[in-house]
């Protein structure tokens, strides 16, 4: 059954209209001792609960269908990422152009040139402002359901950029944008961080980007405990 507005609105209005009509017919029947008017009044009173049940059932079905449709539209919008649209357009491209597009999709880490006095740093080729140290920290502090919350970072801090060129917030936004474009995570909802899209979890994402999530090594008396 396809829920429509009129399927609950019409029975509801009819039930409301029957209330004064049944009262009027009952009053006329008692005043004039008309038996057939009493039967008419009884018929109207009997129809009211039936119409009320029908109106309520159709009303619940209509808004339940609307909620389901809203959920479907939301999931479709989340799935319609830039990467998905890109490959839809690829159907009309030349095969050589598609080949170049596939090459560009590869996840590549490259070495960022540093000063001689500093150790090398690794950045993501998809967004050179995102450093591997931040990616590791991001994934280690994410759960298997939700992403690491940006609220846990300090506003204006450069903890993951020794050159103090890219703020932690900007690295978070950059990596989150990469995850959404790859279809790995959803966007944030208000103050809530985004969520992983099945089957992606921190361990699988780390393997995809070539990052190793090592557990903390226990320490006793300043020395690492050998397992």
Task: Encode pLDDT of 149-188 as tens digits.
Answer: 998 998 889 998 888 889 999 999 999 999 999 889 999 8
pLDDT band at 93 (very low <50, low <70, confident <90, very high): confident
pLDDT, residue 80, reads: 73
Single out the residue of 129, 138, 132, 136 nearest to residue 163, CA to CA: 129
d(CA 73, CA 146): 21
pLDDT, residue 224, reads: 44
Segment 42-61 mean pLDDT: 82
For residue 199, cis peptide bond before it (omega within 30 degrees of 0): yes
Segment 84-88 mean pLDDT: 74
Does 202 score more than 50 pLDDT? yes
Does 227 score more than 50 pLDDT? no
Whole-prediction pTM: 0.46
Q: E strands, 69-199, where?
A: 109-112, 121-124, 127-131
Segment 220-224 mean pLDDT: 43
Query: Are the CB atoms for 186 and 78 separated by under 8 Å?
Result: yes
pLDDT band at 223 (very low <50, low <70, confident <90, very high): very low
Q: Mean pLDDT across the chain, nearest whole number? A: 79
CA-based max dimension of the chain: 110
pLDDT, residue 115, reads: 59
| 127-131/121-124 β-pairing | antiparallel
What percent of the chain stands above pLDDT 70? 79
Segment 114-119 mean pLDDT: 54
pLDDT, residue 30, reads: 65
């Amino acid at each position: 059954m396809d829920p429509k507005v009129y399927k609950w609105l019409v029975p509801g209005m009819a039930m409301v209209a029957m209330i004064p009509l049944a009262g009027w017919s009952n009053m006329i029947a008692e005043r004039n001792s008309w038996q057939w008017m009493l039967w008419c009044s009884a018929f109207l009173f009997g129809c009211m609960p039936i119409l009320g049940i029908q109106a309520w059932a159709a009303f619940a079905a209509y808004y339940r269908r609307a909620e389901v449709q809203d959920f479907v539209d939301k999931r479709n919008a989340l799935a319609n990422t830039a990467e998905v649209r890109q490959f839809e357009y690829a159907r009309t491209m030349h095969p050589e152009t598609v080949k170049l597009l596939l090459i560009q999709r590869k996840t590549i880490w490259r070495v960022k040139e540093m000063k001689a006095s500093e150790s090398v740093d690794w950045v993501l080729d998809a967004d050179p402002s995102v450093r591997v140290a931040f990616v590791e920290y991001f994934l280690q502090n994410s759960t298997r359901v939700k992403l690491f919350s940006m609220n846990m970072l300090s506003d204006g801090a450069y903890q993951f950029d020794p050159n103090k060129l890219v703020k932690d917030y900007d690295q978070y936004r950059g990596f989150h944008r990469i995850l959404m474009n790859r279809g790995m995570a959803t966007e944030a909802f208000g103050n809530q961080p985004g969520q992983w899209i099945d089957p992606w979890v921190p361990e699988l994402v780390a393997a995809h980007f070539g990052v190793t999530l090592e557990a903390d090594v226990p320490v006793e008396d300043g020395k690492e405990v050998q397992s």
